[in-house]
Amino acid sequence: MTGTIEKHDALRRGLVMGGGLAAGLAMANAASAATATSTLEMQTQDAPRTLDGNSVPEPPPEKSAGPVRPGRGSMLTGKVAVVTGAARGIGRAIAVEFAANGADVVAVDIAGPVSPASNAEPATPDELADTVRQIKQYGRRGEAIRADIRDIAALRRVADQVQTTYGKIDIVVADAAIQRWMPLLDMQDSDWHDVIDNNLNGTANTIRAFAPKMVAQKNGRIIVLSSMQGLHGTKDASSYSASKWGIIGLMKSAALELGQYNITVNALIPGLVDTALTRYYKRLSETMAETGRKPPEKPTPQEAWDVRAPTVALKVGWLQPDDISPAAVFLASDAAAMVTGAEYQVTGGDSAKDV
């Protein structure tokens, strides 16, 4: 099997590096002289690509997701990742899933209060430490760094520290965010500004602090967290919706600018996920109201589930954080080499009916 894979790699490289088909085949034969032609080889080796005798250019290996290799969409072996908002929820699931798939992970979080304009209980240093404990359970290096994504100087120090300690930064996930439920006309200035500053400016800070390391190494994966609420309006959560909508514009612009350095930038779009961000009464009653029902003021989680689940294609009231993290692994992997400027939805079925 390995000989076959090496042969295909060599074949591609031979073609790409200008050696022509003969050189490519010579390398391939050297790589697996003793390997008999197998069904796998027949499937994975393309015929020479020509048009009227002129060869068709092929992207160089670093600009390609190929060749086919078992597990290449799920393994991050040897990669170094930084995940913000990693103390809990989706950020923690992504950090731990990266480690489970072979990456060393630096878990960044403020692990404390962010703003009065946040409906969620603050995360704690203990939660951040627990994320690192879970990373290490997979035999990977991991560490916690407390930092505020609104402070770009602090993020630049983190980037320098990770570069010095680990030698590179392959993957950055900008996950940290807060949410505010408040009718637009009832908002204090902070209900608007703090959410935009934290979520949109903080995500831009994260890209601006870490991408220079990736530019220098001419390689990288950036994943930002948007939301279904960034694809449509949200009654009584306009600052959150606007911040998540803005993150998509930021992601697409960054993808255009950073592609020349072989850096991909994509957005994960979760549906409703049960985390500290969403587990409070206002969110539960809004969840019920979105289905057209008049909700009780303090619905139980079961009441909210029972109303919402029938409206979702996969018949769940909400998802779990580790439903989202496999998509992050794919976007961070070599298999996603040609995916950039894209929105990747994991919603249990909201995607089937929303924008």
Ligand X SMILES: NC(=O)c1ccc[n+]([C@@H]2O[C@H](COP(=O)([O-])OP(=O)(O)OC[C@H]3O[C@@H](n4cnc5c(N)ncnc54)[C@H](O)[C@@H]3O)[C@@H](O)[C@H]2O)c1
Where on the chain is the footprint of ligand X (CB under 6 A)? 84-85, 87-91, 109-111, 114, 120, 123, 148-150, 175-178, 198, 202, 225, 227, 270, 272-273, 275-278
Give the pairing of strands 50-51 and 54-55.
antiparallel
β strands within 45-147, DSSP E: 50-51, 54-55, 80-84, 104-109, 142-146
How buried is 189 (Cβ within 10 angstroms: 0-12 exposed, 13-18 middle, 19+ buried)?
exposed
- The residue among 28 and 106 lying less far from ligand X, judged by its C-beta, is 106
- The residue among 14 and 270 lying less far from ligand X, judged by its C-beta, is 270
- Least Å from the CB of residue 59 to ligand X: 32
β strands within the chain, DSSP E: 50-51, 54-55, 80-84, 104-109, 142-146, 171-174, 220-225, 263-270, 343-346
Q: Which residue is nearest to ligand X (CB)?
A: 89
- Least Å from the CB of residue 300 to ligand X: 18
- Least Å from the CB of residue 53 to ligand X: 52
- The residue among 44 and 239 lying less far from ligand X, judged by its C-beta, is 239
Of the residues 138, 166, 240, 344, only one is catalytic, namely: 240
Cα–Cα distances in angstroms (integers) from residue 90 to residues 52, 175, 273, in the given order: 52, 8, 8
Phi and psi at 85, nearest 5°, equal 65, 30
Whether 240 is a known active-site residue: answer yes
- Least Å from the CB of residue 149 to ligand X: 4
- The residue among 101 and 234 lying less far from ligand X, judged by its C-beta, is 234
- Least Å from the CB of residue 104 to ligand X: 20
Asked whether the beta carbons of 102 and 77 are under 8 A apart, the reply is: yes
| Contacts with 244 (C-beta within 8 Å, 6 or more apart), sequence order | 177, 199, 226, 227, 229, 230
In whole angstroms, what is the distance from residue 254 CA to residue 13 CA? 29
- The residue among 5 and 158 lying less far from ligand X, judged by its C-beta, is 158
Q: Which residues are catalytic?
A: 240
